[in-house]
A and B are shown apart, each in its own frame.
Chain A
Amino acid sequence: MKNFNRIVTRELSVVFRSQSEFVYPLAFFIMVTSMFPLAVTPEPAQLAFIAPGVIWVAALLSLLLSLNAFYQSDFQDGSLEQMLLAGVSGSLIILAKAFANWIVTGLPLVLIAPIIGVLLNLELQANMIAMLALLIGTPSLCLIGAIGINLTVGLRNGGVLLTLLVLPLFIPILIFGASAVEAASIGKNYSGQLAILAAILILSLMLAPFAAAAAMKISID
């Protein structure tokens, strides 16, 4: 547990020293979502109709963008293998890095989503549900993304492969996340979708660290 805190602290101090690299995914999220009213239509009713999908697709892609910054340098400069050789288990390293990844990328998305919701004319209720769904959904994205990035981090052009590997696994989260917001915006019951998102989070918390740690060891070999 101590080592978990240490790795998280270290990740965050690296982020603090190189903000630009880590602010980029958030900037991407804001840019993409704010362009939809300009590109599709400024009509409020139609904007509210596409808003859940837009928010979720943008969140998913910006998290995908953030993965490289968190895993690439540790792999290349040898600090990953040094942590393993200090007896820290691979899954603990993954858990700590995914947590740091979520703090830096996921949490700001959750916090900024209501503003984007207002921009896209989401009602208050749907807006709050969008925030809640992102809060439950984005940690799973970070954890599942960790599996993909650890498999591809040693490859020269791993970017495309990462997308191909990870996006299919992101789809359920996308579907249930967006549909929770949609249900809330037309006044239907949305608890089922949120429960499934929570179930996915628990499942990925339990399994993803082990899968990603195994992937990491293959990449280091």
Chain B
Amino acid sequence: MELISSEFNSDNLIEITNLTVIRSDFPVFSPVNFSLGAGQAMQIRGTNGAGKTTLLRAICGLCHSLEGEISWNDEVITPAHQNFYQSLLYIGHALGLKPKLTIEQNLSFFQQLRFELDSQLIQEAMQAFGIAELYDEYVAKLSAGQKRRVSLCRIITEPVPLWILDEPLVALDVDGQQWMLDICNQHLERGGILLITSHQPINGIHNLRELTLS
């Protein structure tokens, strides 16, 4: 099952230098340094409240009280950095799905913000994720795991090199988790970059580096 067809630029590089987020005058975690190039993956670890989600959101540019520097392909990221936002997919705890729209409406809306509409690809993604029969279903009627699957379909419908996934395995069943790990591996083989958090141990992603927040 080969779903990711695009090859990514092998020069892509995200660099994090001395990054920390300040909340009520105190840093949430001690400064973080790392860089990830094409084909590299990193898992962020830490106890509850250690700041994993905060770190990921800071990298995405959703936190403003941060110190340090994030650069994408040697350019420091500013809020108006189109190049970076064309290359990024962040899936967090809030899935960004509208309960009152169908799965297809939700997925095609996000796809069209950055890419041309490709209904074929959306159907293939849903097929691969085992929710093809729910194509016209309203998101409100889905279970937590099915909603998670819908949001994860975006990693296929929006082919971008940098995936930032916050607890993507939550609410997925065993098959879903395995499928997710397979797709992550395919992504890395094609020169993608992966930044992931998870409380479960992740076995099966090749060369997964670890970073523990303190």
Residues of chain A touching chain B, judged by Cβ–Cβ distance below 8 Å, are: 2-3, 6, 10, 13-14, 17-18, 73, 76-79, 81-89, 217-218, 220-221
Contacts and interface: CB of A to CB of B under 8 A. Distances in A.
Given A6-B112, A10-B109, A79 B96 contact: yes
Contacts of A76: 94
Contact of A86 (B62, B94, B105, B114): B114
Given A3-B113, A81-B90, 9 more contacts: A6-B109, A6-B113, A13-B105, A78-B92, A78-B94, A79-B98, A81-B96, A82-B110, A84-B62
Residue among A18, A78, A83, A218 with the most chain B CB within 10 A? Answer: A78
A221 B113 contact: no
8 contacts: A6-B109, A76-B94, A77-B98, A78-B93, A86-B110, A87-B86, A87-B113, A87-B114
B64 A217 contact: yes
The A contact surface, by secondary structure, is: helix
A78 to B, nearest CB: 3
Interface string B66-101: 000000000000011010011011101111111111
The B contact surface, by secondary structure, is: loop
A121 B89 CA distance: 58
B60 interface: yes
B113 A78 contact: no
A204 to B, nearest CB: 23
A77 B113 contact: no
A3 B113 CA distance: 6
Contacts of B88: 85
A77 B101 contact: no
Contact of B96 (A78, A89, A218, A221): A78
B33 interface: no
B65 interface: yes
Contacts of B99: 77
A83 B99 CA distance: 16
B63 interface: yes
Given A6-B109, A6-B113, A82-B96, A14 B62 contact: no
Contacts of A77: 94-99
A-B complex: 9 closest residue pairs judged by Cβ atoms: A78-B94, A87-B85, A82-B96, A17-B100, A86-B113, A78-B96, A79-B96, A221-B64, A14-B100
